[in-house]
Copies of this chain bind each other. A is one copy, B any other.
Amino acid sequence: MRVAVVGANGKIGQQLVELLKNDAEHEAVALVRKEAQQKQWQEQDVEARLADLEGTVAQLADALAGVDAVAFTAGSGGNSGDDKTLLVDLDGAIKTMEAAQAQGIKRFVMLSAWQANNRENWADELKPYYAAKHYADRELMRSELDWTIVRPGALTDDNGTGRVDIGEHLPPGKIPREDVAHVLMGCLTTDDMIGKAFDVMSAD
């Protein structure tokens, strides 16, 4: 399976590309915003394409040509303003869904955030971000795509442990990005995960 990783320059996106690259049955197509990032992946023998989430659906569809699945790991990030939260985390994500559908791609795995589905659990300072993720997830669940929504807790750069809890409503907690990348990989390669949305945390 050829998997387009949207946001392949992000910390989780990078690890997911590596996992795909090292798996004989799969192939990564790294989607990045900048030419320097594209070059970095190409130097590691990874196919890399430019894709701007603020571009048009048609441009995003071009970037998805020939792939079998999409993993959306992009985020505007904590250092940009809420204009980018609206244009990247909300509109960019949904344009990517529309682009996938335009290409006839069915499988779509979304990196979301813990309890993005429940407004009452949104921390005050993160509410705008959560609102964007919430409505992107809602659009995905109503689409014709074969979706999976992964909602990790607070992300850390710790080494992965390979032990995670998943559930519809977990208590708040942490999880290493490495473990999140493995969960995304597992979702991409398991049809059982289609149509499921869940929190994921480190297990004891």
User: Given A82-B82, A82-B85, A82-B86, is A91 in contact with B138 using a C-beta cutoff of 8 Å?
Assistant: no
Q: How large is the interface on A (under 10, 10 to 19, 20 to 34, 35 or more residues)?
A: 20 to 34
The answer to whether A127 touches B90, judged by C-beta atoms less than 8 angstroms apart, is no
Interface secondary structure of A, over-half rule: helix
**Smallest Cβ distance from A79 to chain B, in angstroms?**
15
User: Given A56-B119, A119-B56, A120-B56, is A83 in contact with B138 using a C-beta cutoff of 8 Å?
Assistant: no
A residues contacting B by CB (< 8 A) are: 56-57, 81-83, 85-87, 90-91, 94-95, 119-120, 127-128, 131-132, 134-135, 138-139, 142
Q: Which 7 A-B pairs have the closest CB atoms?
A: A82-B82, A86-B128, A83-B128, A91-B131, A86-B131, A82-B83, A135-B135
